[in-house]
């Protein structure tokens, strides 16, 4: 779809003419652009440039995730204007990239509220994406079963088939998976998770949380979300101090469970980027005797 066709599509759905279209950084599913409209509004466009059925379906899945997140989470996210297999059009959220302590505390308050949105089952009624990779959400009553089979084992075996993860590491991970009950609670409650909570997806502006983008939603133990927020240092002590005041974090999270939960995003990064992320997986497995 060329810029003229995009401009026509946007005008049909918004009633406004496009003043300019320019590329944006990011986007695992498609090319990303920003459109400035003549009425002052700004939109984000994700446009598939391939005929791959999986890539095309990804835009529809992303739209479904955004719609679900917008209606269930107290945290703002882009509003879907239009979605089809070639194009996703949504509202633009301005971001000044200044993650202050005040923003950390506001995020803690709103994320704690989101984590109190619950379900009867772990998973979700539809499969989602994380970093453009398929993320199965087969619903389970047991968090350990869900995390073991639909997160760790799924992602590790996909990585092995793609030649990204050695079979010896997968075998060690399988042994750890079979022992998860030794480390994880059996009474976890399903919480609504954003699913990809790192700094690039946390938007802030003028010392305020502006919103979250690129969700990879499902219902899971809230600790997996908190763990990922520490993987690259995006959630600070100010976040955890305020979050813990609202929803106390059980003992053992920082000392042990955090590393176990971060195996999942690390496996995602192994598939996407390879390299030293394999070493990070190896290090955690060794820590737990595997």
Which residues are CB-contacts of 162 (< 8 A; sequence separation ≥ 6)?
271
CB 16 within 8 A of CB 38: yes
How far apart (Å, rounded) are the C-alpha atoms in residues 277 and 266?
6
**50-60 burial code (b ≥16 CB/10 A, e <16):** eeeeebbbbbe
- 55, 96, 196, 221: the catalytic one is 196
Long-range contact pairs involving 31-35 (C-beta distance under 8 Å, separation at least 24):
33/6, 34/92, 35/6, 35/7, 35/10, 35/89
Residue 196 known to be catalytic:
yes
CB 22 within 8 A of CB 11: no
Q: How many CB atoms lie within 10 A of CB 268?
A: 23
Which residues are CB-contacts of 170 (< 8 A; sequence separation ≥ 6)?
156, 157, 159, 160
CB 281 within 8 A of CB 260: no
Pick the closest to residue 232 from 264, 265, 203, 208 (CA basis). 265
CB 59 within 8 A of CB 88: yes
**273-284 burial code (b ≥16 CB/10 A, e <16):** eeeebbebbbeb
Place of tokens 């609504």: 192
Which residues are part of the catalytic machinery?
A: 196
């Amino acid at each position: 779809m060329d810029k003229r066709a995009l401009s026509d599509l946007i005008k049909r759905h918004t009633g406004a003419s496009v003043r300019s279209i320019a590329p944006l950084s990011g986007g695992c599913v498609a090319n990303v652009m920003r459109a400035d409209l003549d009425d002052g509004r700004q939109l984000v466009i994700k446009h598939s440039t391939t005929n791959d059925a999986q890539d095309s379906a990804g835009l529809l899945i992303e739209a479904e995730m955004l719609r679900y997140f917008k209606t269930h989470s107290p945290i703002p996210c882009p509003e879907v204007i239009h979605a089809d297999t070639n194009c996703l059009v949504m509202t633009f959220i301005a971001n000044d990239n200044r993650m202050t302590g005040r923003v950390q505390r506001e995020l803690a308050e709103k994320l704690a509220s989101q984590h109190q949105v619950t379900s009867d089952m772990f998973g979700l009624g539809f499969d989602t994406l994380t970093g453009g990779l398929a993320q199965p959400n087969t619903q389970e009553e047991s968090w350990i079963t869900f995390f073991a089979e639909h997160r760790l084992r799924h992602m590790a075996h996909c990585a092995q088939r793609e030649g990204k993860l050695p079979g010896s590491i997968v075998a060690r991970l399988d042994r750890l998976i079979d022992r998860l009950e030794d480390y994880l609670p059996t009474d976890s409650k399903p919480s609504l998770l954003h699913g990809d909570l790192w700094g690039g997806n946390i938007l802030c502006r003028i010392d305020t949380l502006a919103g979250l983008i690129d969700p990879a939603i499902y219902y899971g133990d809230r600790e997996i979300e908190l763990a990922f927020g520490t993987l690259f240092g995006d959630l600070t002590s100010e976040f955890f101090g305020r979050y813990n005041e609202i929803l106390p974090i059980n003992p053992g999270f920082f000392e042990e469970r955090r590393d176990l939960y971060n195996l999942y995003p690390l496996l995602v990064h192994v598939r996407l980027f390879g390299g030293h992320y394999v070493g990070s997986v190896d290090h955690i497995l060794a820590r737990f005797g595997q």
